[in-house]
Amino acid sequence: MSEHDRGKAAYEADQLKQAQERHEAINETYRFLFGESPLHLIFMDTEGANPTRDGWSLREFGAVDFITRRTFHGIDSLQDTFERFWRWLNDLGLGRLVFVTDNIAYDWPPIHWHMVKYFGTNPFGHSARRIGDFYAGLVGDWRKGSEWKSLRVTPHDHNPVNDAMGNVEAFAAMLEGKRGKKRGRRYG
């Protein structure tokens, strides 16, 4: 193994260790509030989600586990894709799964609908968490609920895995005490 490869491996091991320490801090708070079950934050993003007369259409979706940074890319909404996603979630181990996204109103419904359609249940339960709400609570100002987006490292390019990874990176930065920058107004 070259010196460069050893350095890269050491860097990656250090990044994983830091992520595990962050996750353990979150789990400590969770255990204090809710008991001993581990918490798995799964950052989700969907693309091409639209309500239909028969439920929901969904072009693709991405998921990133906060701790391991393992990813899943669903390229359609067929049962086989959701069975692979279910197995991916189960491979994370025991614990409560928490659906985390930047837009609950858009990302949650098609995932929930397909899980219930194919399996009769949703492993995330009946709730999700919005990153902007978490951030607004951190800074104490609802008007700043989008500033966290400036903390993304991976560009937001509408590839659902990349978008979910950028959200993971921003959330990790928030937990490290970093705060976003004011974004320009989109409307008005």
Structure confidence by residue, pLDDT tens digits, 96-152 = 899 999 999 999 999 999 999 999 999 999 889 999 999 999 999 999 999 999 999
Asked if residue 161 is part of any domain, the answer here is: yes
- pLDDT of 187 > 50? The answer is no
24 occurs within a structural domain: no
Return the number of other C-beta atoms located less than 10 Å from residue 87's C-beta.
10
Domain presence at residue 109: yes
The CATH number of whichever domain residue 43 belongs to comes to 3.30.420.10
Residue 56 lies in a domain: yes
Compute CA distances 178 → 2, 29, 88, 151, whole Å.
35, 19, 31, 8
Torsion of CA 94, 96, 99, 105, to 10 degrees: 140
Which residue segment(s) compose the domain that 147 sits in? 37-175
Domain count of the fold of the chain: 1
In this structure, is residue 99 part of a structural domain? yes
Q: Is residue 188 part of a domain?
A: no
Residue 188 has pLDDT above 50, yes or no: no
Nearest to 22 by CA among 176, 180, 165, 178: 176
Q: Which of 131, 68, 69 is nearest to 100 (CA)?
A: 131
Q: What is the per-residue pLDDT for 125?
A: 92
* Tens of pLDDT, residues 10-69: 887 787 777 677 667 666 665 655 566 678 899 999 999 888 888 898 999 999 999 889
Q: How crowded is residue 164: how many other Cβ atoms within 10 Å of its Cβ? A: 28
Q: Check if the beta carbon of residue 107 is closer than 8 Å to that of residue 45.
A: yes
Q: What is the mean pLDDT of residues 150-177?
A: 96
Residue 110 lies in a domain: yes
Per-residue buried b or exposed e for 30-43, using 16+ beta carbons within 10 Å of the residue's own CB = beeeeeeebbbbbb
The pLDDT, as a whole number, for residue 72 is 98
pLDDT at position 67, please?
87
∠ Cα 12 69 137 (to 5°): 115
Q: Could you tell me if residue 186 is inside a domain? A: no
Helices 3-34 and 160-175 sit at what angle, rounded to 10 degrees?
Answer: 70
pTM (2 d.p.): 0.79
Residues 169 and 159: their CA atoms lie apart, in Å, by: 15
H/E segment holding residue 43: strand 39-47
| Digit-coded pLDDT (tens) for 73-90 | 999 999 999 999 999 999
